[in-house]
Amino acid sequence: MKKSLEEIRNILNRHRDELRDKHKVTEIGIFGSYVRGEQKKRSDLDILVEIGEPISLLTFVGIENYLAKILKTKVDLVPKDSIRPELKERILKEVVYL
């Protein structure tokens, strides 16, 4: 069974210190099907992040894997500064920040 948006927010809030201190995540939000209440059994979880310092691709993938592990679902991690221009307005309107 898929988690609700509130359950996801609670899990992320419990891990907020580690996300900030170990992974340098300064801002995190959820967007996409979970925010719209349209998630399906196979939906991934779209998470928007801002990282406080430059990181390598390997570190970024590590953050994505960490989030997938604690949330027990597939995560699509999107850096806030890398949103595709044609999607930026829609994503920023619907994102729910923690």
Which pLDDT tens digit goes with each residue over 31-74?
999 999 999 988 999 999 999 999 999 999 999 999 999 999 99
Which pLDDT score, from 0 to 100, does residue 2 have? 76
- Domains, the chain: 5-97 (3.30.460.10)
The structure's pTM equals 0.94
Which two structure tokens, joined as six digits, stand for 74? 């597939």
What confidence score (pLDDT) does residue 41 get? 87
How do residues 2-32 score in pLDDT, each as one tens digit? 789 999 999 999 999 999 999 999 999 999 9
